[in-house]
Amino acid sequence: MSTVRRILGWLRPYRAATTFALALTGLACLLNLPVPLLVQGLVDRVITAGQWWALPAYAIGLFAVFAVQAGLGLANTLVIGRVGQGLVRDLRHRLYDRLQRLGLSYYDKTPTGAIISRLMDDVGAIQGFVTGQTVTILTDAGTALAIGILLLMRSGHLAAAVLVFVTLHALSFPYFLRKIRATSTVIRTKMDALFGHLKERIDGSLVIRAYAREPAEARDFAARLADVHVPRVLEGRYSAALSNISTAISGMGAAVVFALGAYEVLQGRMSPGAVVSTAALAALLFGPIARLADLAYVFEQASASVDRLGEILDLEPTVPEPPAPLAIGRAKGHVEFDRVGFGYETNRLVVRDIRLKIEPGMKVALVGPTGCGKSTLVNLLMRFYDPACGEIRLDGQPIQRLATADLRRQIGVVLQEPIVFRQSVADNIRYGVPGASDAQVEAAARAALVHGFASALPEGYATIVGEGGYKLSQGERQRLSIARAFCMDPALVVLDEATSSLDTAAETLIQAALANLLCDRTAFIIAHRLATIVDSDLIVVMDGGRIVQTGTHHELLDDEEGLYRQLCLRQFGGPVWEGAARADLPTPVPAPHLTAPAAQRRRSSA
């Protein structure tokens, strides 16, 4: 019943339309009742008694009943269809909205294919059930109830015989329905894996071709399809068995009703017309019950999808919004980590006892071996996760007391692998600030050294850059992501090895754009290439989830036993570069796109 309750809950916004559909269904069911009576009169009066003058009246009556039923059915289908489409739209919106609110921990544990499968495939299964089967179920259930009552009024003996076969139907349903639901759940799970595999292979098509793995991938995909095919065949067998058993029971029931009816005629207790009409009633009853076998199959498929969607909709965000968030303007950029600890798994901390105080405008580099917790710190700062212990404060306020959107609007992010959407250059730049004007977009583009190549594109800033920005080079995509951060005018900037995958010429341009972005902003720079962070105000060296050293480049080099010096020696083979500075980099300049009020705020905060 949980499936029914969920669907009814989802249908709550459509109460009026659903009530109207139920009223139409009720009328259609009531119109089934005159049919046996008209058939009885046709047999007893016209055929048996020879009253041929009454034939047109009965024929017109039957035609009128069926015509009205068809009209009601059409209206009902249109209403239910509209409700079903609205339900699917609402469901996908609710699912997508919930997915946006869930923390990164959900995405860490859930394959992408499973998410896509539920959002599209499972919602589609519910759509098929609601729009294609609901009318039939409601009509058949109402018809069966009305006919059962009429049969009891007609003949207790025949009603009892019909009840026996209805009971056989009821006994055959549960076994097959359990099997169908279990098999449908297996199919959905396998489809999750198949969606994930397909997405991964499409994304990796270049590697597949580079290693000439096309035939092997085709064979592997065929094997995965076969793996899904087996439970699908089994599900079809269960459905076919249930449907044919129901048909057989209905046929036997109809035969018994005719036989008993014939005996009643011979005994003089019923007229031939009454027998025919009663048999018609039984057929009308067995028909819906037999169809319920097919509908039960569809319902169990939808039930499996409802359960899977419920798993997402019932999840609560792991990073909850504060009940009464503090109002915050543009942050000054003072950040403090106070004894912070965090683990992706319970009772297993990956960072512990993190204590840092960052003054506004400082450039803080996070260095250390892979897996030491550098990215975890910035993820905690952006509140993708909440600490297991300790507290992070921005301008003296705990970030857990700030609205998540307000916090993240303070932080511009430039990743190692830039994310570019299949939109125009301008829309990619204003992604974080949808209301940004064209002038603001161009100012951000100039500051990030994007204006030159953007202007040269076929449609300028209106050019669609393609999926993943494939029309742009790696360096151009990176500068576009820097322009996106510029457009937000953030108080803090997070750089995640933003130049590691670029050639020398592209890196020079990126460094120039980053120099503009970092000017007068608090920055956290995750770095593996130590040459890029030698002029940082503070270098934080991490190892094993702890901070093991802090200081400037030269201070840390003076510690001959320190990890930082070891990392330098490992990268450069000696301290020859100790005095090296990034003299080849341009001098940082203030961001030219800032409005006067923003520039004044920056000067006053300094």
Which domains are assigned to the chain?
Answer: 15-313 (1.20.1560.10), 335-605 (3.40.50.300)
327 burial type by CB count under 10 A (0-12 exposed, 13-18 middle, 19+ buried): exposed
Residue 546 binned pLDDT confidence (cut-offs 50, 70, 90):
very high
- pLDDT for 426 equals 92
Q: What CA–CA distance (Å, rounded) separates 355 from 597?
A: 34
Q: Worst-scoring range by mean pLDDT, 4-8, 358-362, 462-466?
A: 4-8
Strand 411-414 relative to strand 335-342, pairing: unpaired
Does the pLDDT at position 595 exceed 50? no
Q: pLDDT tens across 466-484, in order?
A: 877 778 888 888 888 888 8
What single DSSP character describes residue 393?
E
Residue 322 has pLDDT above 70, yes or no: yes
pLDDT at 25 over 80: no
Estimate the share of the chain in helix, then strand, then coil, as percent rounded to the nearest 5.
65, 10, 25
- Which pLDDT does position 259 carry in this prediction? 81
The runs of H, that is alpha helices, within 204-271 are: 205-210, 214-266
Spatial strand order of the sheet with 397-398 comes to 351-358, 335-342, 389-394, 397-398
Check pLDDT > 70 for residue 287. no
Q: What is the pLDDT of residue 294?
A: 62
- Write out pLDDT tens, residues 212-252: 788 888 888 888 888 888 888 888 888 788 778 877 887 78
User: How would residue 292 be classed by pLDDT, with cut points 50, 70 and 90?
Assistant: low
Helix, strand or coil for residue 587? coil
| C-alpha distances in Å from residue 192, one per residue of 50, 118, 187, 517 | 67, 8, 9, 41
Q: What is the DSSP letter of 574?
A: S
Q: Which residue has the higher pLDDT, 133 or 451?
A: 451
- Would you place residue 577 in the very low, low, confident or very high pLDDT band (cuts 50, 70, 90)? very low
Instruction: Over range 199-208, report the average pLDDT.
Output: 76
Query: Is 464 in a helix, a strand, or coil?
Result: strand
- CA 262 to chain centroid, in Å, comes to 60
**What pLDDT, on a 0 to 100 scale, did the predictor assign at position 159?**
75
Residue 502's pLDDT is 56
Higher pLDDT, 439 or 253: 439
Angle between helices 438-447 and 504-518 (to 10 degrees): 120
What does the pLDDT read at residue 522?
A: 92
Question: Can you tell me whether residue 548 is helix, strand or coil?
Answer: strand
CA 522/CA 130 separation, integer angstroms = 53
Q: What is the mean pLDDT of the chain?
A: 80
Instruction: Decide: 365 and 539 in contact? Cβ < 8 Å.
Output: yes
pLDDT at 357: 93
Which of 56-60, 126-130, 318-322, 473-477 is predicted least confidently?
Answer: 126-130
User: What percentage of the chain reaches a pLDDT higher than 90?
Assistant: 13
Would you say residue 11 has pLDDT above 90? no
Handedness of CA 215, 220, 226, 228 (dihedral sign): negative
pLDDT at 74: 85
Indicate the SS3 state at residue 449: coil
Dihedral of CA atoms 109, 113, 114, 118 in degrees, nearest 10, equals 140
For the CA atoms of 414, 415, 419, 425, the dihedral, rounded to the nearest 10 degrees, stands at 30
Tell me what pLDDT residue 367 has.
Answer: 92
Most confident of 118-127, 192-201, 529-538: 529-538
**Structure-token pair, residue 310:** 């419920």
Single out the residue of 300, 255, 271, 368 nearest to residue 125, CA to CA: 300
Average pLDDT over residues 25-31: 76
Contact yes or no for 365/536 (Cβ under 8 A): yes
Q: How far apart are the C-alpha atoms of 165 and 252, rounded to whole Å?
A: 8
Query: Pick the residue with more confidence: 294 or 28?
Result: 28
Confidence of residue 135 (pLDDT cuts 50, 70, 90): low
Stretch 50-70: mean pLDDT: 86
Please, which pLDDT band fits residue 505 given cuts at 50, 70 and 90? low
Mean pLDDT is lowest, of 213-217, 374-378, 460-464, 593-597, for: 593-597
Lowest mean pLDDT among 367-376, 422-431, 519-528, 573-582: 573-582
CA distance 381 to 495: 13
